[in-house]
Amino acid sequence: MRFGRNCSGRWILVAGMLAVIFLLTVTGCDQQRSSAARPGPDPGVSDHSLRIGASLALSGHAGYLGTQTLHGARAYIEYVNAAGGVHGRRIELVAYDDGYDPPRCMLNTQKLVVEDRVFSLFCYVGTPTTVKILPLVEEARVPLVGMFTGAHALREPLNHYLVNIRASYYQETRAAVQHMVEKLGVRRIGVFYQYDAYGFDGLRGTELALKAYGLAPVATGTYIRGTLNVEKGLARIMNSGARAVMMIGTYEPCAKFIRQARARGFRATFYNVSFVGADELARRTAEAGNGVIVTQVVPPPKAESGDARLWGIREYITLLQRYFPQDRPNFVSLEGYLNARVLVEGLKRAGRNLTREGFIRALETITNYDLGIDNNLSFSATDHQGLERVYITRIENGRSVLIQ
């Protein structure tokens, strides 16, 4: 039997995944048989170090998102390590580039779990990549903390091994639709989305939010992940007479959509969810970006903030400048930084005798925890999403201004 290149590639991936699951199962059985006689630490834990792992886009069309997430997280981890680590253990963060490609993310995760033997996975970026590895996470029983995605599938039903920190895309799209309808009086709304799990999630969230007002999208347009083919989607939405457009994509195609729309005289109000990368979107749209609205799950990282409640923002900016002086403060690295704050807090609460299950139970004890952003974080055994608030910002002259 002959297979095409794509088909054979899928079979190789499936075979590799089955082999890893088999190895994890055998290893787990061996560990269970020997645990009574020779108890030992969970993978990645030694007397002086703790190894965690990340797969995220460090190159390609989502490279800005992965790079900035990693920089924000590393800034806090390096600060903690410089102070002696957590219970005498330095945190070692092993990070691999997946280029926002699900098969690469799967291969990276297999390596992290089986070869690198990480204690926990951390700071994954993107819906299609993260959803792809869920069977492996569950089989290996490894915690995954602080994903840069608001995917509904990572929240419901509750997954014991997934710990989300940010608000969901359903919450972001609901806040955006509420703003369109109640603040701007707009009822003709189109949706432009990436044709994959990320885009479908945002589309579904928008449809649910519109349904609450007795509305539905007047038109939809799509593009394929990794491409800039936005023209057909733009034409469909323009022809519908939409007065606002909900956009669920990454910065490069969304920027192209907005620039072309403005050049053709399409004056709808454009809304984006946080995953777009607002700072990079503003840079790529230049003047055309003025007035674009972006929902966010963290407050604007303003250095000049005089609000005493936002001490966490000032701490983030200080540490980012110390460890990554070439970076400007931005929403994405701030989220990575907060992810690391929560990771470390869970490790502290788990104590010196660290296990994966003990770590998850420790995270579940975090209630009304002050991160210094005027938005306290809480988990429980039945709720693994820590933050709920959505911020609405508008791009003005290349900067994001909080409007709600």
Using one digit for the tens of pLDDT, what is the confidence trace for 360-394?
999 999 999 999 999 999 999 999 999 999 999 99
Burial 319-344 (b: 16+ CB within 10 A, else e): bbeebbeeeebbbbbbbbbbbbbbbb
- What are the sequence ranges of the domains in the chain? 41-167+304-390, 169-296
Percent of the chain with pLDDT over 70: 89
Please check whether residue 289 is in contact with residue 261, taking contact to mean a CB–CB distance below 8 angstroms: no
pLDDT, one tens digit per residue, over 23-43 is 554 444 444 443 333 355 799
Q: Which pLDDT score, from 0 to 100, does residue 360 have?
A: 98
Question: Is the domain defined by 169-296 classed in CATH 3.50.50.60?
Answer: no
* SS3 category, 287: helix
Confirm whether 41-167+304-390 and 169-296 share one CATH topology: yes
Angstrom distance (rounded) from CA 106 to CA 128: 11
pLDDT at 119 over 90: yes
pLDDT, one tens digit per residue, over 311-327 is 999 999 999 999 999 99
Angstrom distance (rounded) from CA 219 to CA 239: 9
Q: Which pLDDT score, from 0 to 100, does residue 304 have?
A: 54
pLDDT, one tens digit per residue, over 253-267 is 999 999 999 999 999
Per the structure block, which two tokens stand in for 164?
């989300």
Class of domain 41-167+304-390: alpha beta
Looking at residues 321-342, what average pLDDT do you find? 97
